[in-house]
Amino acid sequence: MGGDHGVKQETTKTTPPRPILAVCLNPALDMTYSVARLLHGNSHRVGHPLVRAGGKGVNVARVLQQLDQPVRLLGFAGGPDGKSCTQDLKAGGLPSRLVPIAESTRRTVAVVDAADATVFNETGPTISASEWAAFMEAFRHEAAASRWIVLSGSVPPGVPPIAYQQLISAAHTVGARCIIDTEGIPLRKSLAANPDLAKPNVHEAAALFGRPLRGIPEIRQAAVELRQLGAKTVAISAGSTGTVLVSEDGAWHAKPQRRYQGNPTGAGDALTASIASGLNRDLDWPTLLREATATATAAVVAKTAGEIDEATRHKAMADIVIEEI
């Protein structure tokens, strides 16, 4: 080929894929305790907690790393707990840029027993106007080097309610595309910026519309309405009921044929990460949904949020039923 076009072969270079940017506005130092059975009002003896950097965006970045996708993490960090998060991310080899803040990074506590997980989430530090301005500057730089951006999790105090709307608009300005995974006012306001994909869970979508969503037809209708509000594609996750995705190309429902026991805390984040991976590889929607549902299943059986069990993911891939609806 080089000879045909007068270009020396040794000067030909392959452009490396652009990383997926995972944004975590409210990271946390996650502490996970394991007990045989959680009993309300009782005292529980526990071993050493598993302590690591967390938050929805961090969980997404960790799963993308396990899926062999190029990824970078952008967030805030402050105080001793912020320092612990920074050290943990560095030890895990996750490329990160954490904007320094005056107040301390929050903590979350998860108590996991054989049946389920109970999670306690602190609100988070208050972000000053100057800290938010520094974050926006860092975001513009990172977005320019990214093809897909995942914006997930809660918005800490001090950050404007239209934060995600601002970030999506800034990303679109430099040609990057965005996945939004949040709830409440931040989700509603983000839709005005036309995110490329919105991924609420069924409870978040129900809260947004002020009505229960029972069954696949009602979940599908909610996804249609989210598209009407501005999202280009919508995926609504509903636990063991599966995930409904509606795009301009059609609508699908993906569901595992059997239920897996474990810690469901990070399953939604794993689903979001796999969706980003599939979009970054230009997969068709049914294939992307199959991979994403299997990845979420693999997160349930993993020990902690931000991890997937690869053997379970491989087994579950053949266990997913994809139905056009």
The CATH number linked to 219 is: 3.40.1190.20
Average pLDDT over every residue of 274-278: 98
pLDDT of residue 11 exceeding 50: no
When pLDDT is cut at 50, 70 and 90, the band that residue 16 belongs to is: low
Q: Does 80 map to a domain?
A: yes
Q: Does 195 map to a domain?
A: yes
pLDDT of residue 10 exceeding 80: no
**Of 36-45, 47-56, 79-88, 253-262, minimum mean pLDDT range:** 253-262
pTM value is 0.91
pLDDT of residue 91 exceeding 60: yes
pLDDT of residue 50 exceeding 50: yes
pLDDT at res. 169 = 98
321 pairs with which residues across the strands?
255
H or E stretch covering 134: helix 129-143
Q: Which two tokens stand for residue 304?
A: 């902690």
Quick one: which of 182, 179, 183, 24 has its CA closest to 101? 24
Q: Does 306 map to a domain?
A: yes
When pLDDT is cut at 50, 70 and 90, the band that residue 283 belongs to is: very high
pLDDT at res. 28 = 97
Mean pLDDT over the full length of the chain: 93
DSSP class per residue in 146-160:
-SEEEEES---TTS-
- Under the phi-then-psi rule, with left for phi > 0, alpha for psi from -120 to 50, and beta for the rest, what region is 148? beta
When pLDDT is cut at 50, 70 and 90, the band that residue 103 belongs to is: very high
At 171 the three-state DSSP class reads helix
pLDDT of residue 99 exceeding 70: yes
pLDDT at res. 32 = 87
- Write out pLDDT tens, residues 118-169: 889 999 999 999 999 999 999 999 999 999 999 999 999 999 999 999 999 9
76 pairs with which residues across the strands?
99
Q: Does 11 map to a domain?
A: no
Report strand pairing: 197-198 vs 177-181. parallel
H or E stretch covering 10: none
Residue bearing the bigger pLDDT, 298 or 114: 298
- C-alpha radius of gyration, the chain, whole number: 20
pLDDT at res. 12 = 41
Domains of the chain: total: 1
Q: Does 151 map to a domain?
A: yes
DSSP assigned state of 252: E
Q: Does 286 map to a domain?
A: yes
pLDDT at res. 234 = 98
Q: Which two tokens stand for residue 238?
A: 């509903």
Q: Which two tokens stand for residue 196?
A: 């490329």
Contact present, 26 and 155 (Cβ < 8 Å): yes
- Write out pLDDT tens, residues 164-221: 999 999 999 999 999 999 999 999 999 999 999 999 999 999 999 999 999 999 999 9
- Residue 196: which domain range? 18-36+47-324
When pLDDT is cut at 50, 70 and 90, the band that residue 289 belongs to is: very high
Contact present, 64 and 141 (Cβ < 8 Å): no
**Of 13-17, 74-78, 109-113, 140-144, minimum mean pLDDT range:** 13-17
Distance CA 97, CA 77 (A): 9
pLDDT of residue 15 exceeding 80: no
Q: Does 6 map to a domain?
A: no
Residue with tokens 């009993």: 39
Question: What torsion, rounded to 10 degrees, do the Cα atoms 76, 163, 299, 16 define?
Answer: -80
Q: Does 164 map to a domain?
A: yes
Distance CA 150, CA 64 (A): 11
pLDDT of residue 4 exceeding 80: no
